Amino acid sequence: MTQVWEVLVTDTTRIRDAARVVSEAALGLGLGPVRTDAAVLAASELATNMCRYAGGGRFVAEAVGEPWGSARALQIVALDHGPGIADVPRALGDGFTSSADSLGAGLGACRRAADFFDLQSTPGRGTVAVARFARPEHRELFAGPAPVGGLHAPLDGARLSGDALAFRNDRGRRTVMMADGLGHGAAASQASELASRFVLGRGGDTPEALLRGMHEVLRRSRGAAVAVADIDESRRLLTFCGVGNIGARLYRGGSWRSLASQPGIVGAFALRTLLPERHGWEPGDMLVLHTDGLPSRWSPDGIERLGARDAAVTASVVFRDAGSAARPLRDDTAVAVVTHTARPDGAPR
């Protein structure tokens, strides 16, 4: 089940709540006391900044996978619709405390405490900060910007998300799956968890084979919308297949296109003939997957400029820019971003 610890930071009394949920999540992941303390420190700083300079925001902690690997770490996302930060490099330096610049001290401390820390800010739109904390033996696996990742935001701050993201690398064949269990709550979470486990146990199959196999397994659940992308970088090929309402946008060759899913529900009724789409996949390309909690007016234009950034940072910017401070979620929401493991200049990401 996708567990999410969310705090809507509406005033300074919620700073303590952000620290508390991060402590709970970190201990659950077995981070140990030292890394847990580091995560709690960052949580307090990020929540304090959101209160002080953005009038509040959304704070989300969850367990995330190592990029294309199996280790897990704690990810914290702090997301606001405040005025934004004009000079991010300066803000990340130590001793920067000018409230006139709409941010505060502590970002440098977050960067030092976290195994990975990055911040994206767009003046007038807001700021996202992403920090990850791994167990001592896994810290280097999470040190850099990740080419795959995302975030979950359940409806009404629930602890379980009905959406699930899974990715797996099977000898260079990369599978990414997003599932949206019907409805929300525990039963939705159970359905998407079955889909997720199926992919983690059976990576390397084609998207069609995975969806067909999932269809049988999910019969004992309420069903889910599921999209699967299979990425074979050695063959420069992306294969996409989806059933139900999962949004998928591919940036390639200088423009965005939508990848279509077929109508239906995985695990319910009869599965129609699956029609996979094939596209090229090269450095600079980007795939965005999202569940239908994301406002439909969302447009990916401009997101490609974040292609070299951490995938969870980019996914959080998508989430931020699709919504507003005033707009509550209408469903569980998940956003995932996948980029090529090499940069356009050939260097590893």
Q: Which residues bind Mn ion (CB under 5 A)?
A: 162, 180, 331-332
Amino acid at 223: G
- The CA distance from 106 to 276, in Å, is 47
Closest approach of Cβ 188 to Mn ion, in Å? 6
Residue closest to 76 by CA, chosen among 4, 147, 28, 10: 4
- C-alpha 68/C-alpha 54 separation (Å) is 34
Closest to Mn ion by CB, 26 vs 164, is 164
Q: Which is closer to Mn ion, CB of 113 or CB of 226?
A: 226
Q: Could you give the CA distance from residue 155 to residue 152 in angstroms, rounded to a whole number?
A: 10
In this complex, which beta carbon is closest to Mn ion, that of residue 57 or of residue 162? 162
The nearest distance, CB 29 to Mn ion, in angstroms, is 25
d(CA 342, CA 154): 32
Residues 254, 179: Cα–Cα separation, whole Å = 28
- Supply angle C-alpha 110, 323, 261, rounded to 5: 110
Burial of 2 (0-12, 13-18, 19+ CB in 10 A): buried
Q: Which is nearer to Mn ion, 321 or 331 (CB)?
A: 331
Looking at the Cβ atoms of 79 and 188, the one nearer to Mn ion is 188
Q: Which helix (H) or strand (E) holds 339?
A: strand 333-339
Q: Measured from the CB atom, is 127 or 333 closer to Mn ion?
A: 333
Least distance from C-beta 231 to Mn ion, angstroms?
25
Q: Find the shortest distance in angstroms from Cβ 185 to Mn ion.
A: 10
Give the nearest distance from C-beta 224 to Mn ion in angstroms: 8
Beta bridge partners of 348: 342
CB of 70 to Mn ion, least distance (A): 26
Measure the CA–CA gap between 311 and 67, rounded to whole angstroms: 10
Minimum CB distance to Mn ion, residue 290 (Å): 11
Nearest to Mn ion by Cβ — which residue? Answer: 180
Residue 39 or 158: the one with the smaller Cβ distance to Mn ion is 158
